[in-house]
Amino acid sequence: MSSPLDIERVRADFPILKTEVRGKPLVFLDSAASAQKPRQVMEAMVRHYETGYANIHRGVYQLSQVSTQAFEATREKVARFLGAADTREIIFTRNATEGVNLVAQTWGRTNVGPGDEILITQMEHHANIVPWQMLCEQTGAMLRVVPIDDRGVLIMDELEKLLTPRTKLVGLTHVSNALGTINPVQEITAMAHEVGAVVLVDGAQAAPHLRIDVSELDCDFYVITAHKIFGPTGIGVLYGKLSLLEEMPPYQGGGDMIEQVTFEKTTYAPVPTKFEAGTPDINGVVGLGAAIDYIEDLGIDAIAAHEHDLLEYATKKLGAIEGLRIIGTAPNKASVVSFVLDFAHPHDVGTILDQDGIALRTGHHCAQPVMDRFGVAATARASFSIYNTREEVDILVASIAKVRELFT
């Protein structure tokens, strides 16, 4: 078991936490949208630009080789971070969203047809809904949805009923961005495989909080994004089982993803290069590698323990506020607390809390079907990370008391 986090040391790694907002110390509670960046990540990216940058895979000169080595070293780190069996199973994308779209438009267009079904859940982010709707429109397949209960937990009996031989793919989130619910991915994957379906897991919200082992989960595809794990924006990862990736057609055409080009015919490079057309965000990949180093240095078990403590503390404190209702009360949750107040709209809450330097997200969180399920237009969402403290939870609670004074 990893040792507990030294929170003061961790907070010192994040320069932005020294920022003041409207004369108040920043209390950043929106890591579910995008995590802040430690100096180690920023320094790695600056160092690469200053000492090791060149285009990759194409140059025979030393600087190009150095840059290529740095890029491919991150692929190895990602494979280890996700528990992939082979580095060729790691595809760099712009974000998790592009990873989902890549699978929908390559594996999906090849393997899904009229009368087939795509099964997703009621708690999905729009990024794991819209690409499948588009695929259904293109192919004549049907979209099916697994409902959730009043706690924000999947109704497994309904999932079992919806899984049939017509199910070609199951797409589900590992951790709900709007509710915090952690789904039983390994169990669902086994159920899906029994009917011959493949499984894509949206791991964008899981990667900052949980130990991930795709080999143990046995999912077929898994997507993450760098900016939620303390890395830069513009970089994501698609993991796919090698046998599936090798059968899938390219997603985009262009430089580096080819083997041979003539005007008559083009042949494609092997995986993973086949799916990485054009010059990538090389320095962003270097930053992703540094972010993984940072997480592994702290230890995912220590991170999870700290965030679970914050979740329990915040749930108790917020739950004691009269007129506050927590949306999402699953027994197995990540460090997200969404709530509504019966005396103020979430957007007003966010605006007033900003006066106290508190940054938290209000709205539908790109999960409008979740809002519809709970009969609300929006929620206020406090999401906690490694740099947050119990004292910041107390500041949040005190600021909500000010909202009550203004509206009652």
Domain boundaries, the chain: 7-30+299-407, 43-296
Beta bridge partners of 121: 146
Cα-based distances in Å from 18 to 13, 27, 200, 351, 405? 10, 10, 39, 21, 29
Cα angle value 99/103/108 (rounded, 5°): 160
User: What pLDDT is stored for residue 2 in this prediction?
Assistant: 41
Check whether 89 has a pLDDT greater than 80: yes
Let me know how many helices (H) and strands (E) the chain has, helices first.
15, 17
Q: Name the catalytic one among 300, 352, 366, 397.
A: 366
User: What pLDDT is stored for residue 169 in this prediction?
Assistant: 98
Cβ atoms of 144 and 169 within 8 Å: the answer is: no
Q: Residues with Cβ < 8 Å from 316, sequence gap 6 or more?
A: none
Q: What are phi and psi of 305, to 5 degrees?
A: -65, -45
> Does 43-296 carry CATH code 1.20.210.10?
no
Check whether 52 has a pLDDT greater than 50: yes
Q: Is 52 exposed, middle or buried (0-12, 13-18, 19+ CB in 10 A)?
A: middle
- Helix or strand or coil: residue 56? coil
Between strands 336-341 and 379-383, the pairing is antiparallel
Q: What is the mean pLDDT of residues 80-103?
A: 98
Both tokens of 404, joined, read 């009550």
User: What pLDDT is stored for residue 15 in this prediction?
Assistant: 98
Quick one: what percent of the chain has pLDDT higher than 70? 99
Check whether 408 has a pLDDT greater than 90: no
- Tallying the residues shown for the chain, one arrives at 408
Quick one: what percent of the chain has pLDDT higher than 90? 98
Residue 3: pLDDT band (50, 70, 90) is very low
Choose among 275, 225, 227: nearest CA to 249.
275
pLDDT digits (tens, 9 = 90+) for 158-180: 999 999 999 999 999 999 999 99
User: What pLDDT is stored for residue 1 in this prediction?
Assistant: 38
Radius of gyration from C-alpha coordinates of the chain: 22
pLDDT digits (tens, 9 = 90+) for 213-262: 999 999 999 999 999 999 999 999 999 999 999 999 999 999 999 999 99
Q: Helices 300-319 and 282-298, interaxial angle, to 10°?
A: 80
pLDDT digits (tens, 9 = 90+) for 129-165: 999 999 999 999 999 999 999 999 999 999 999 999 9
- 398 DSSP 8-state letter: H
Q: What are phi and psi of 36, to 5 degrees?
A: -75, 165
Q: What is the mean pLDDT of residues 17-39?
A: 97
Across 159-302, the runs of DSSP E, i.e. the strands, are: 167-173, 198-202, 221-225, 236-240, 258-261, 266-268
| CA–CA gap between residue 276 and residue 255 (Å, rounded) | 9
User: What pLDDT is stored for residue 308 in this prediction?
Assistant: 97
**Arithmetic mean of pLDDT over the chain:** 97
Cα-based distances in Å from 241 to 84, 252, 365? 8, 19, 30
Q: Maximum Cα–Cα distance for the chain, whole Å? A: 73
| CA–CA gap between residue 341 and residue 165 (Å, rounded) | 44
Cα angle value 140/143/149 (rounded, 5°): 170
Choose among 340, 343, 320: nearest CA to 328.
340
Both tokens of 215, joined, read 């080999």
Q: What is the mean pLDDT of residues 326-348?
A: 97
Choose among 46, 12, 16, 9: nearest CA to 31.
16
User: Is there a catalytic annotation at residue 219?
Assistant: no
Between strands 266-268 and 258-261, the pairing is antiparallel
Across 203-265, the runs of DSSP E, i.e. the strands, are: 221-225, 236-240, 258-261
CATH homologous superfamily of domain 7-30+299-407? Aspartate Aminotransferase, domain 1 (3.90.1150.10)
Choose among 376, 367, 296, 317: nearest CA to 341.
376
User: What pLDDT is stored for residue 393 in this prediction?
Assistant: 98
